Chain A
Amino acid sequence: DTGVSQNPRHKITKRGQNVTFRCDPISEHNRLYWYRQTLGQGPEFLTYFQNEAQLEKSRLLSDRFSAERPKGSFSTLEIQRTEQGDSAMYLCASSPTNTEAFFGQGTRLTVV
């Protein structure tokens, strides 16, 4: 399967704990995006990488959130000191150009 892969698929954590999600994009795609989706809403942009450079971060991304894409390959999204409001589906997408994106299946985070 050469699609976008996200791990884990589900994560339950206690409030205040740190969590890290991983995204493996389609190998030849140099653009990588993170979005967050809550129930009944569309995906909201969080951050964007072109190769290893983080080119844009949403104002939604508080300082508890950090993303990396070392060597322009896989990416990680870390949330520190999780809060109940962080519960959502976290979607990763990759793209070879600035047009359509290819999404992974997402990581569902539940903060209890």
Chain B
Amino acid sequence: DQQVKQNSPSLSVQEGRISILNCDYTNSMFDYFLWYKKYPAEGPTFLISISSIKDKNEDGRFTVFLNKSAKHLSLHIVPSQPGDSAVYFCAASFTNAGKSTFGDGTTLTVKP
């Protein structure tokens, strides 16, 4: 039973446009959500997070939206840049647990 799902294995967008990456989860007890970015031959790097008490968190070009009723979150990147091309992992956790449950990732390609 996969508790965190990223249904789009890949996404391709033009430089300057918006990238929207989606993530669904099944366990309503998750209360903290994170996005990580991973380049080849490197470990995942933390990008942005959101607590379940919020529905939006913004950091520069990156915004995460959380819809608790739909058990859905999304990451918006505006404007997209070629350097954003990477694998993006959605992760969910319980605030007091620390460990995260990851989705299988979405490979984003931003074309110049």
Contacts and interface: CB of A to CB of B under 8 A. Distances in A.
Interface stretch (B39-47, B65-73, B78-86): B39-47
Contacts of A93: 43
B100 A101 contact: yes
Interface string A92-108: 01010011111111100
B99 A33 contact: yes
A31 to B, nearest CB: 6
A21 interface: no
A99 B49 contact: yes
A40 interface: yes
B25 to A, nearest CB: 13
User: Which of B32, B45, B99 gathers the greatest number of chain A CB atoms within 10 Å?
Assistant: B99
Contact of A44 (B46, B95, B102): B102
A43 B102 contact: yes
A42 interface: yes
Contacts, number: 58
A41 B104 contact: yes
Contacts of A45: 99-101
B97 A105 contact: no
B99 A56 contact: yes
| Interface bracket on B | 20 to 34
A48 B101 CA distance: 13
B98 A98 contact: yes
Interface string B12-28: 00000000000000000
Contact of B43 (A95, A98, A100, A104): A104
B34 interface: yes
Interface in A53-109: 56, 91, 93, 95, 98-106
A26 interface: no
Interface of A: 4, 31, 33, 35, 40-45, 48, 50, 56, 91, 93, 95, 98-106
Given A42-B103, A42-B104, 15 more contacts: A31-B98, A40-B105, A41-B104, A42-B4, A42-B6, A42-B89, A43-B44, A50-B98, A56-B99, A98-B98, A99-B34, A100-B34, A103-B36, A103-B44, A105-B42
